[in-house]
Structure 1
Amino acid sequence: MKRYTLTPYEQACPGTREVYDEFLRLSGAAEPPVWMLSLGHNPTLIKAYWEKTRGCLLEGELPHVLKEMTVFVVSRVNGAEYCSACHAHSALQLDPTLSYHDLVTILDPDSAVPLPPSHRVALQFADKMARDANGVSDAEFQALADAGFSDSEVKELLSVIDLAMMFNCYTSGLRLPLDPQYKALVDG
């Protein structure tokens, strides 16, 4: 059973086209991604998803590449193929010194991936939050502070983790197919 309908640009209402246009302008992409097209039927819903995405990923104090890696880590924990592939693609575009294999193994204890120590702490925190948010201890929050994250940055990190969880549920529930550029990354 197909669980979604895609609304291409030509068939979208003006409110949806506004969101598509802003995404295309900010991302430099040639077309909106599948996740966005799947929301295109409802201008209110797509606007809400886009504003949360833009606010959590494209704005704020944390480095964009760290945010993309965070979504990747959370998505891998949740088995969310679409989000894992999408955010691996984004992270690799932001840091071409990394490989897909680097991202997959980034939290392995023996990982040699060159990463600022604070980023490793943030990604370990994201992994723990995705596995058991209620089990995260004060010590794990303190580790973020000790790694140099301000209170504002910690809340931003939590917002990125929340964004990932929301999209993991949405894209996995609908079983959205991978965009061609994401599929090539995973299949490569």
Structure 2
Amino acid sequence: MQRYILTEYEDASPETQAVYDDYMRMTGDSSVPIWMKSLGHSSALARAYWERAKGTLFSGSLPLPLKEMIVFAVSAKHGARYCSACHAQSVLGLDKALEFQDLSNFVHAEAAFTLPPYYEHVVEFANKVVADPNQVEDADFEALMDEGFSREEICEIIAVIDLASMFNIYTSSLKMDLDPNYRAIL
């Protein structure tokens, strides 16, 4: 059963078209992804989800590749097929040192693949937050601070984890189909 309806650009209200236009302008994409089209029936919802994603991913002090890796890892941990595929593609587009098979090995705990140190400590922290945010200890913060992250950046990491969780719930509950340019990793 299809659990959602897509609102294509030409069928969208002017307010929703403005959200779609902002998305395409900001990301450089020439089309709107399925997750956004599934919200297109409500310009308020489409704008709210887009503003949250835009504000979390495209502002702040952390680099976009690290944020995309966090969203990918959190999505994989949650078993979120749509988000893990979407953000695997983003990671691979931003970090040419990684290949699809690397991310697949990471997700499936195959081979001896470990993430580059740049990502490893943050992903470990993200996995702990996803497992139980109430169990995050001062030592977890201190470990990230020892890696050079400020308290503000750690709060930004948590905001990215929260964003991923929100989108994971939305896309997974709807059993969202993958966009044609996404490759399933789960």
What CA distance in whole angstroms lies between the structure 1 residues aligned with 2:51 and 2:85?
21
What CA distance in whole angstroms lies between the structure 2 residues aligned with 1:151 and 1:2?
43
Deviation at 1:30, TM superposition (A): 1.6
Which residue is equivalent to 1:138? 138
8 A Cα contact 2:24 2:30, kept in partner: yes
Which residue is equivalent to 1:104? 104
Q: Provide TM-score, normalisation by structure 1.
A: 0.91
8 A Cα contact 1:118 1:144, kept in partner: no
Which residue is equivalent to 1:11? 11
What CA distance in whole angstroms lies between the structure 2 residues aligned with 1:46 and 1:29?
17
SS in structure 1 at match of 2:184:
helix
Write out aligned runs for 1:22-171 (5 A).
Answer: 22-106=22-106, 110-113=112-115, 115=116, 117-171=117-171
What CA distance in whole angstroms lies between the structure 1 residues aligned with 2:103 and 2:76?
10
8 A Cα contact 1:68 1:90, kept in partner: yes
Instruction: Structure 1 unaligned segments of length 5 or more: list them.
Output: none
Which residue is equivalent to 1:186? 184
SS in structure 2 at match of 1:5:
coil
What CA distance in whole angstroms lies between the structure 1 residues aligned with 2:88 and 2:25?
21
What CA distance in whole angstroms lies between the structure 1 residues aligned with 2:101 and 2:52?
29
Instruction: Name the amino acid aligned to 2:28.
Output: G
Number of residues paired by the alignment?
183
CA-based RMSD: 1.7
Deviation at 1:105, TM superposition (A): 3.7
8 A Cα contact 2:60 2:156, kept in partner: yes
8 A Cα contact 1:118 1:147, kept in partner: no
Instruction: Structure 2 unaligned segments of length 5 or more: list them.
Output: none
What CA distance in whole angstroms lies between the structure 2 residues aligned with 1:66 and 1:91?
8
What CA distance in whole angstroms lies between the structure 1 residues aligned with 2:41 and 2:118?
41
Deviation at 1:90, TM superposition (A): 0.5
Q: What fraction of aligned residue pairs are identical, expressed as a percent?
A: 49
Choose 153-162 or 126-135, whichever is displaced more.
126-135
CA gap of 1:171–1:122, structure 2 versus 1, over 3 A, is same
What CA distance in whole angstroms lies between the structure 1 residues aligned with 2:114 and 2:6?
41
SS in structure 2 at match of 1:180:
coil
Deviation at 1:106, TM superposition (A): 4.3
Deviation at 1:171, TM superposition (A): 0.1
Write the deviation string for residues 10-61 of structure 1: whole angstroms up to 9, x where unpaired: 0101111111001111111121000000000001111110011001111111
Deviation at 1:119, TM superposition (A): 2.6
